């Protein structure tokens, strides 16, 4: 890659697993399995390039309404991912953090998630956020209720701190694969000034080079945060 401005925080909407599998006459479960493999490949590449934080939308609150058979597959993939002892991302010294409501998961998955979070707590080479049973509107409503319960007014900073991403810098770049052009209830508050990048590739086929192209595209953008460009 030529000299570029790296986003410190990339968020990924990994869409298109089902369609990718269907086009290959395979079940959706195969698409999700390949999707997890690609998640590890692409996220470790992002850290290797120097990105500090990667946040993935692995399971939305709305995804929980999918047919039981598909949910079983997704839960199994999550179970396997968090029970594995070794992972490229763990080997890279990345801290793993889960954002979302864990109560939907069976106890064994919950325990493994908490164990991985605990074991990687002190790692500092990067932060990998996995959003599970996450919904941004629900997150915002919960934060409002928390402020009301505490009987206090909030400002932008204190409100951000009440979100499930509290303490994290906002994503600089949000990438969505799968050809859809929307945020689908992902990081709505945090995305206020994020650069958005949409790829027509399905998630399992989104390559390391595609990630680099997205970063190059980001790098060429002029981020003004509502301000005007400074004159030379």
Does the protein bind ligand FPP through residue 32 (CB under 6 A)? Answer: yes
Q: Which two tokens stand for residue 71?
A: 């949910």
17 in contact with ligand FPP (CB under 6 A): yes
Residue 25's CB: how many other CB atoms inside 10 A?
A: 7
Assess 36 for contact with ligand FPP (CB under 6 A).
Answer: yes
Q: Is 63 a catalytic residue?
A: yes
C-alpha–C-alpha distance, residues 151 and 92, integer Å: 43
Question: Considering the rule CB under 6 A, would residue 113 count as an interface residue with ligand FPP?
Answer: no
Instruction: For ligand FPP, give the closer residue by CB, 40 or 162.
Output: 40
* Shortest distance (Å) from residue 204 CB to ligand FPP: 8
Annotated active-site residue 15? The verdict is: yes
DSSP structure string for 159-198: HHHHSTTTTSPPPSEEEE-SS--S-TTSSTTTTTT-EEEE
Active-site residue among 63, 170, 210, 217?
63
Q: Name 134's bridge partners.
A: 60
Q: How far apart are CA 218 and CA 195, in angstroms?
A: 7
**CA–CA–CA angle 184, 187, 193 (5° rounding):** 110
Tell me how far, at minimum, the Cβ of 66 lies from ligand FPP, in Å: 7
Cα(199)–Cα(17) distance, integer angstroms? 13
> Which of 17, 10, 35 minimizes the C-alpha distance to 187?
10
- Nearest residue to ligand FPP on Cβ basis: 18
Residue 42 as a binder of ligand FPP (CB under 6 A): the answer is no
- Out of 9, 11, 35, 186, the residue judged to bind ligand FPP by CB under 6 A: 35
List the one residue from 178, 186, 187, 195 that touches ligand FPP (CB under 6 A): 178
Q: Is 16 in the site for ligand FPP (CB under 6 A)?
A: yes
SS3 call for 127: strand
Residue 12 binds to ligand FPP (criterion: CB under 6 A): no
Please pick, from the candidates 43, 78, 143, 174, the single residue that binds ligand FPP as defined by CB under 6 A: 78
* Residues annotated as part of the active site: 15, 63
Site for ligand FPP, rule CB under 6 A:
14-19, 32, 35-36, 39, 58-59, 63, 77-78, 81, 130, 178
């Amino acid at each position: 890659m030529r000299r570029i401005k790296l986003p410190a925080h990339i968020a990924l909407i990994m869409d298109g697993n089902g369609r990718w599998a269907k086009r290959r006459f395979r079940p959706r479960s195969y698409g999700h399995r390949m999707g997890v493999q690609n998640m590890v490949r692409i996220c470790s590449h992002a850290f290797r390039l120097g990105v500090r934080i990667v946040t993935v939308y692995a399971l939305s609150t709305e995804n929980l309404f999918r047919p039981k058979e598909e949910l079983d597959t997704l839960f199994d993939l999550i179970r396997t991912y968090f029970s594995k002892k070794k992972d490229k991302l763990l080997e890279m010294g990345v801290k793993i953090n889960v954002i979302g409501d864990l109560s939907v998961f069976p106890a064994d998955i919950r325990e493994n998630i908490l164990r991985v979070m605990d074991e990687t707590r002190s790692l500092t080479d990067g932060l990998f956020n996995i959003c599970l049973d996450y919904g941004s509107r629900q997150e915002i409503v919960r934060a409002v209720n928390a402020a009301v319960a505490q009987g206090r007014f909030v400002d932008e900073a204190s409100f951000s701190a009440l979100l499930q991403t509290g303490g994290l810098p906002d994503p600089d770049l949000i990438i969505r694969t799968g050809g859809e052009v929307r945020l689908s209830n992902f990081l709505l508050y945090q995305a206020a000034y994020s650069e958005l990048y949409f790829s027509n590739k399905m998630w399992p086929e989104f390559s390391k080079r595609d990630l680099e192209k997205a970063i190059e595209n980001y790098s060429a953008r002029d981020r003004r945060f509502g301000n005007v460009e400074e004159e030379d």
